[in-house]
């Protein structure tokens, strides 16, 4: 009945208001009729207040026009009729349980040089949950598969112990839930919930930065779980000591167990990822097409998979077979952008800006380390990100010999393995240049 | 004198409806199909297109289609930017959230954290997020790399402009809804000499409707020419 009354009212409001007003303020409202009247649920306080101030008299007037609603009380509250669709825990705490993604398993994780150590560490933790390395901290740039490995640990624990309480959530969700618990006066229940889990998986802990109360509460949860030998897996976009606004005691605890970096995948791994994902979709992706996509999406796995989804969705919609031409069409913005921008000039400008030197320094004969290292970095990036040959690259760097370029590529590869600073510079520049 | 002869046109503006039926999809059929399909798993769509290309219409149509299936949807226009991230609170409970001109929200870490939380909330619940911008995400500066990579992994569509055939269909449909007969010669003249942007074209149809009503005349090429001349060279007050 609420639907009927509300639907009638909606139809009139849609006629009276501009589409923007209707879609912004009226469409998000959900109606629920009860014995005493009609309740409109707004998604937040902001919408509630706006609706009350601007539309409530008009809604009341319309409702009064319907015989069956003459006696209805009308109120606007903050809430949602669909919130219940989020699975609630069976333990009666009423706290939402975000299910693990069942597709994120170790089998589905494509291993390469960039992530093999992280995978081995995660497997080891999953096989001996709470006993070997606690916590496991996976860190590295965005979209590299940290969340996948984290879910894989959770899924493996559930395989071995189907009754285990494994909770996965994003750190922002922890903060939001804690704020709600504080508002509702249910902090004890909140803390009890997290302290009682068998395994806690928290994504992107860098978002705890500057949230002192959240850090305080999480510190207690952390200690309680550690004392009981319950496994924790954390992810972060950088090494915790580099997070500003994070308490020192948390920084040291986060790296108390095993800390492993996940690095961007190299070309062959990106190709393998694409082929595996396509196979999972029932598509036999030719290798040359996988290479084509992988060469154009270098920044991270998430964007690589996003590109593949776009290609496959377009192929399904148009009925066109996946081909280089079809991929070029599906990813035309991305391909055009890369082909337009990734010249040696662009790389030189980006590197010079990054190291705060002049572009002309890169082309000069100067051999001081402050110039030579950026020059080697720029040469290595030019080799990785463009199709230019070694002599062409050498020519573009003040007429140098191709062996100089080769030496630069080898030197940077060597330094990436031995110096975290160089590795990070390379990663940052690569991302910057490829739109990651 | 012409003003004396003109009948005062009491204009009851034809209420625009933002639905897919009113959208001439042209070469954007895949985008429309994606937005119109029932949401069965998390979906993030990024629509890139020039001003006046129909982005806002599509966002609102996508909300209407979710609503028509009994779901809840929220459209967030750029006018709310000044309110900050509080606007996104609780929207993760919607089946679809459509954010217009998302570029206006980007650049401030606090607001982007709100957007990221909304994205995660919708992802956790298997709901959908549709955003619009003039450019593709690879060309947009984000404050949070976490948000950037999620947006760059979205289903990204650039709205293809309508060809003349499509523009003619929209114009004819709009004129017809206003009870105005658009003869082929007149339509051809408008397409050749009128504005290229669809938004401006529909504005012209609106003004032609008012003019024919005021003059009590049917729509002719000289009338269109007169109005276009006025638009290009407005009479001094």
Mean pLDDT score of chain A, rounded to an integer?
A: 86
pLDDT of the residue at B29: 92
State the nearest Cα–Cα gap between A6 and chain B, in angstroms: 12
pLDDT for B12 beyond 60: no
- The reported pTM is 0.76
| B contact test, residue of A19, A143, A432 with most B CBs within 10 A | A19
pLDDT for A252 beyond 70: yes
- Restricting to A residues 192-251, those with a Cβ less than 8 Å away from any Cβ of B are 204, 207, 237
Average pLDDT for B207-216: 89
pLDDT for A88 beyond 70: no
What phi, psi does B197 have (nearest 5°)?
Answer: -70, 140
Residue A200's H or E segment, with its range, is strand A199-203
Rounded to whole angstroms, the Cα distance separating A55 from A58 reads 5
**Across A44-53, B102-111, B170-179, least confident range:** B170-179
Of the candidates B18, B74, B124, the beta carbon closest to that of A43 is on B74
Rounded to whole angstroms, the Cα distance separating A150 from A157 reads 11
Of the candidates B18, B86, B139, the beta carbon closest to that of A44 is on B86
pLDDT for A249 beyond 80: yes
Query: CA angle at residue A384 from A378 to A385, to 5 degrees?
Result: 85
Mean pLDDT score of chain B, rounded to an integer?
A: 86
pLDDT for A92 beyond 60: no
**Across A30-39, B5-14, B42-51, least confident range:** B5-14
A80 interfaces chain B, CB cutoff of 8 Å: yes
Residue A207's pLDDT band (boundaries 50, 70, 90)? very high
Closest CA to B160 of A206, A77, A329: A329
Q: Which of A32-36, B91-95, B162-166 has the highest mean pLDDT?
A: B91-95
Residue A3's pLDDT band (boundaries 50, 70, 90)? low
Residue A25's pLDDT band (boundaries 50, 70, 90)? very high
B176 interfaces chain A, CB cutoff of 8 Å: no
C-beta atoms surrounding B198 within 10 Å:
19
Flag if A46 and B86 touch (Cβ within 8 Å).
yes
pLDDT for B116 beyond 70: yes
A11 interfaces chain B, CB cutoff of 8 Å: no
Average pLDDT for A268-291: 92
Closest CA to A142 of A76, A238, A217, A212: A238
Contact residues, chain B, for A148 at CB < 8 Å: none
Higher local confidence (pLDDT), A434 or B121: B121
Residue A339's pLDDT band (boundaries 50, 70, 90)? low
Flag if A23 and B60 touch (Cβ within 8 Å).
yes
Flag if A337 and B138 touch (Cβ within 8 Å).
yes
Rounded to whole angstroms, the Cα distance separating A85 from A77 reads 19
Of the candidates A27, A172, A314, the beta carbon closest to that of B74 is on A27
A300 interfaces chain B, CB cutoff of 8 Å: yes
pLDDT of the residue at A90: 36
pLDDT for A373 beyond 90: yes
Cα-Cα-Cα-Cα torsion B93, B99, B103, B104, nearest 10 degrees, comes to -90
pLDDT for A291 beyond 60: yes
- Are the CB atoms for B175 and B191 separated by under 8 Å? no
Rounded to whole angstroms, the Cα distance separating A304 from A299 reads 8
The radius of gyration computed from the CA coordinates of chain A, to the nearest angstrom, equals 28
Average pLDDT for A29-39: 83
Rounded to whole angstroms, the Cα distance separating A62 from A81 reads 23
Flag if B16 and A19 touch (Cβ within 8 Å).
yes
Of the candidates A19, A28, A317, the beta carbon closest to that of B60 is on A19
- Are the CB atoms for A414 and A128 separated by under 8 Å? no
pLDDT of the residue at A64: 78
| A contact test, residue of B17, B153, B156, B159 with most A CBs within 10 A | B153
Flag if A20 and B60 touch (Cβ within 8 Å).
yes
pLDDT for A356 beyond 80: yes
Average pLDDT for B202-231: 89
pLDDT for B16 beyond 80: no
> Percent of chain A, pLDDT > 70?
92
Q: How would DSSP label each residue in A378-421?
A: HHHHHHHHS---HHHHHHHTTS--HHHHHHHHHHHHHHHHH-HH
State the nearest Cα–Cα gap between B138 and chain A, in angstroms: 6
The pLDDT tens digits for B61-84 are 999 999 988 889 999 999 899 889
Residue A337's pLDDT band (boundaries 50, 70, 90)? low
- Restricting to B residues 182-211, those with a Cβ less than 8 Å away from any Cβ of A are none
- Output the CA–CA distances (angstroms, integers) from residue A31 to A7, A34, A77, B27, in the order listed: 9, 10, 10, 38
Instruction: Tally DSSP H helices, then E strands, for chain A.
Output: 21, 8
State the nearest Cα–Cα gap between A310 and chain B, in angstroms: 6
pLDDT of the residue at A91: 38
Q: Are strands A166-170 and A199-203 parallel, antiparallel or unpaired?
A: parallel
Residue A29's pLDDT band (boundaries 50, 70, 90)? very high
Rounded to whole angstroms, the Cα distance separating A425 from A350 reads 12
Residue B15's pLDDT band (boundaries 50, 70, 90)? low
A314 interfaces chain B, CB cutoff of 8 Å: yes
| A contact test, residue of B89, B91, B113, B138 with most A CBs within 10 A | B138
| A contact test, residue of B72, B78, B136 with most A CBs within 10 A | B72
Query: CA angle at residue B135 from B134 to B140, to 5 degrees?
Result: 120
- Restricting to A residues 350-409, those with a Cβ less than 8 Å away from any Cβ of B are none
Residue B43's pLDDT band (boundaries 50, 70, 90)? very high
Flag if A44 and B90 touch (Cβ within 8 Å).
yes
Rounded to whole angstroms, the Cα distance separating A400 from A381 reads 16
pLDDT of the residue at A208: 93
The pLDDT tens digits for A107-161 are 999 999 889 999 999 999 999 887 888 999 999 999 999 999 999 999 999 999 8
pLDDT of the residue at A338: 67
Residue A4's pLDDT band (boundaries 50, 70, 90)? confident
Query: CA angle at residue A339 from A338 to A345, to 5 degrees?
Result: 90
A180 interfaces chain B, CB cutoff of 8 Å: no
Average pLDDT for B156-165: 86
């Amino acid at each position: 009945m609420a639907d009927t009354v509300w639907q009638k009212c909606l139809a009139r409001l849609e006629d009276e208001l501009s589409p923007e007003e209707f879609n912004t303020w009226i469409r998000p409202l959900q109606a629920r009729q009860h014995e005493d009247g009609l309740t409109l649920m707004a998604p937040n306080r902001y919408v509630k207040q706006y609706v009350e101030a601007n539309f409530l008299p008009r809604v009341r007037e319309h409702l009064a026009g319907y015989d069956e609603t003459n006696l209805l009380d009308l109120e606007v509250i903050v809430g949602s009729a669909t919130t219940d669709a989020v699975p609630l825990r069976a333990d009666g705490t009423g706290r939402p349980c975000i299910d693990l993604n069942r597709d994120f398993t170790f089998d589905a994780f494509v291993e390469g040089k960039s992530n093999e150590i992280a995978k081995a560490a995660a497997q080891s933790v999953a096989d001996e949950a709470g006993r070997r390395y606690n916590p496991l901290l996976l860190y590295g740039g965005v979209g590299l598969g940290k969340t996948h490995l984290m879910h894989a640990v959770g899924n493996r624990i559930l395989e071995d112990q189907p009754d285990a309480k494994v909770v996965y959530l994003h750190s922002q969700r922890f903060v939001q839930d804690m704020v709600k618990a504080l508002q509702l006066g249910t902090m004890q229940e909140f803390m009890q919930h997290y302290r009682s889990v068998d395994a806690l998986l928290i994504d992107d802990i860098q978002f705890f930065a500057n949230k002192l109360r959240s850090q305080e509460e999480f510190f207690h949860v952390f200690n309680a779980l550690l004392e009981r030998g319950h496994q924790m897996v954390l992810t972060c976009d950088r090494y915790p000591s580099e997070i500003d606004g994070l308490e020192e005691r948390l920084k040291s605890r986060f790296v108390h167990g095993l800390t492993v970096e996940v690095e961007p995948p190299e070309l062959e791994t990106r190709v393998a990822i694409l082929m595996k994902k396509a196979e999972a979709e029932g598509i036999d992706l030719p290798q040359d097409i996988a290479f084509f996509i992988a060469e154009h999406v270098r920044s991270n796995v998430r964007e690589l998979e996003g590109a593949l989804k776009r290609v496959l969705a377009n192929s399904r919609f148009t009925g066109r077979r996946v081909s280089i031409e079809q991929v070029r069409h599906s990813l035309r913005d991305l391909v055009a952008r890369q082909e337009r921008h990734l010249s040696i000039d662009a790389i030189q400008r980006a590197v010079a800006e990054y190291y705060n030197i002049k572009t002309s320094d890169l082309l000069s004969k100067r051999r001081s380390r402050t110039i030579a290292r950026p020059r080697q970095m720029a040469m290595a990036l030019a080799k990785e990100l463009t199709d230019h040959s070694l002599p062409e690259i050498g020519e573009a760097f003040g007429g140098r010999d191709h062996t100089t370029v080769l030496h630069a590529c080898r030197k940077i590869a060597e330094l990436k393995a031995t110096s975290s600073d160089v590795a990070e510079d390379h990663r940052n520049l690569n991302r910057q240049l490829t739109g990651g | 004198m012409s003003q004396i002869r003109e009948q005062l046109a009491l204009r009851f503006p034809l209420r625009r409806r933002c639905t897919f039926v009113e959208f001439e999809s042209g070469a954007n059929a895949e985008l429309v199909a994606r937005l119109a399909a029932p949401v069965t798993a998390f979906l993030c769509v990024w629509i890139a297109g020039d001003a006046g290309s129909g982005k806002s219409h599509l966002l609102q149509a996508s909300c209407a289609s979710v609503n028509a299936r009994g779901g809840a949807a929220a459209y967030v226009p750029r006018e709310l930017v000044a309110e900050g991230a509080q606007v996104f609170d609780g929207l993760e409970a919607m089946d679809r959230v459509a954010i217009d001109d998302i570029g206006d929200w980007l650049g401030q870490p606090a607001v982007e954290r709100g957007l990221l939380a909304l994205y995660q909330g919708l992802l956790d619940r298997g709901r959908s997020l549709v955003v619009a911008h003039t450019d593709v995400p690879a060309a947009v500066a984000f404050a949070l790399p976490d948000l950037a990579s999620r947006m760059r992994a979205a289903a990204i569509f650039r709205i293809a402009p309508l060809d003349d055939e499509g523009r003619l269909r929209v114009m004819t449909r709009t004129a017809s809804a206003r009870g105005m007969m658009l003869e082929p010669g007149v339509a051809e003249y408008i397409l050749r000499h009128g504005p290229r942007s669809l938004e401006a074209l529909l504005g012209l149809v609106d003004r032609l409707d008012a003019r024919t009503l005021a003059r009590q005349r049917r729509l002719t090429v000289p009338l269109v020419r007169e109005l276009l001349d006025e638009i290009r060279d407005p009479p001094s007050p």
